[in-house]
Structure 1
């Protein structure tokens, strides 16, 4: 049984080693990263991946909405200044080494068998995989909602952590680059539900890693001030209201937690009030 267990855990290690070779081997000379311990190779891979996701998604989205489709989605006087976006990049880059420590630690816990992760979908089958994924997302939605809400309600947490993000509180200061412009501990706390879920529900390892990095793309999207009006998605229209009222729309991917706990404010209702 012990040999079987160690062989099973080795599947996770083999997968993370493959990810490390793909990313680090493609971008860095072998002599720089190969001598590093496995944990630090994983952190370096996550750091490089996080930086790439942040800049690629941010630049592409800014180019599309501020230049290619200029004045289509965002009025000219509402486009954030280059100075504001550079400040957001600066804050994000200071925090990025710490953000990427979280998936590195979660991978370490998975590799050591501390979680309920499984390496292959065939280990459980497609139907259970989908069911587990739904439960995982519900846990993350619930956890991020309450973590975000408490970062507002507990005043010392807001003052010393979350206020860093809320200096961007108007349409002409919010941009896709604000998506990761948090105090490092704030950003980590809001991502912790992803790791907590690993101990509560069987989770496909690769899916967990993908969902963590999708966060980088998602946070860019919800800070562009464009209301996509796609129910039940908690899009940028909802999140812009959060940045202006501070008391509504704490949710993550969907509006459900705000609806359940009475903090939902619809951007279409706000538009009708302004008419």
Structure 2
């Protein structure tokens, strides 16, 4: 067990040295506590992913492919995107505390994580991954739904995100424009899963950062038509009706619990 925990610690140390070691002199970051190193590394990584994915996405759909994917009158203003960036940047330090905490829990041996896929074999790894993703999908669906159904949670937390509720205000930058506690609550199923499902450590960290890219995708107002993916077409309906399409990666939870609205079969006028 101690050898396994040391592998986790060595892995996070390696990631910290790559990110912090390439940006800062050793004397500035190596004396810092391990948890603080991890948080700074996640903050740098999370902020980089947010801006790189956001700017590339916006450049592609609003300028390079202008009027192909999004009509001119549906392109959000620079002011709207700047406001989304400001909200996301205020929350980013708190967002990045979550993977730092999950890494601490893993390094402390309190979860069911494993370091190497060879520890369980590829068939078991794939089964565990599917179970993990289903659990996360279920958890995010209900967390998101309760953030709407429980009025104080909506008023004081989730309403911050729903300022952006039309095509000409939604943009990839809105993907992380949440009250910080709201964003953490919606990501918490990723951490809860670690206590119940054997999970590959590196896969868990990668999936947390994929969240940032995925949330950019579902806020670009482009309906990808890739069943059963919960694409932006479905999520735009969520921003206009507030009562449908709470899912994250797929439409299955909404289908199971009766909250699904199809962007083709149901126009916004029909479902509002």
Task: Identify the match of residue 84 of structure 2 among 85, 88, 113.
Answer: 88
> Where does the alignment leave 5 or more consecutive residues of structure 2 unmatched?
none
Please point out which of 100, 109, 112 is paired with 2:108. Answer: 112
What are the Cα deviations for residues 143-179 of structure 1, in whole angstroms up to 9, with x where unaligned?
A: 0000000000000000000000000000000000000
Distance, in Å, in 1 between the alignment partners of 2:149 and 2:223 is: 26
| Rounded Cα–Cα distance in structure 2 between residues aligned with 1:99 and 1:32 | 23
Residues 200-239 of structure 1 mapped to structure 2, 5 A cutoff: 200-239=196-235
> In structure 2, how many angstroms separate the alpha carbons of the residues matched to 1:7 and 1:118?
11
From 250, 254, 260, the equivalent of 1:264 is 260
Number of the residue aligned with 2:127: 131
Conserved 8 A contact 2:158-2:182: yes
Deviations 1:36-91 (A, max 9, x none): 10000000000000000000000000000000000000011110000000000000
What is the CA distance between 1:273 and its match in structure 2? 7.2
Residue 67 of structure 2, aligned match among 71, 76, 83: 71
Q: Alignment length, in residue pairs?
A: 270
Q: Hey, what does 1:161 align to over in structure 2?
A: 157
Deviation at 1:104, TM superposition (A): 0.3
Q: Which moved more, 1:103-112 or 1:28-37?
A: 28-37
- Normalising by structure 2, report the TM-score: 0.98
Residue 271 (structure 1) shift: 4.3
Q: 1:133 and 1:228, CA in 2 relative to 1: closer, same or farther beyond 3 A?
A: same
**Distance in 2, Cα, partners of 1:112 & 1:272:** 49
Moved more, 71-80 or 265-274: 265-274
Partner of 2:250: 254
Alignment partner of 1:61 is 2:53: no
The answer to whether 1:140 aligns with 2:136 is yes
TM-score when scaled to structure 1?
Answer: 0.97
Q: Runs of at least 4 residues of structure 1 off by over 3 A?
A: 271-274
Q: 1:10 aligns with which of 6, 13, 24?
A: 6
| 1:31 CA drift (Å) | 2.2
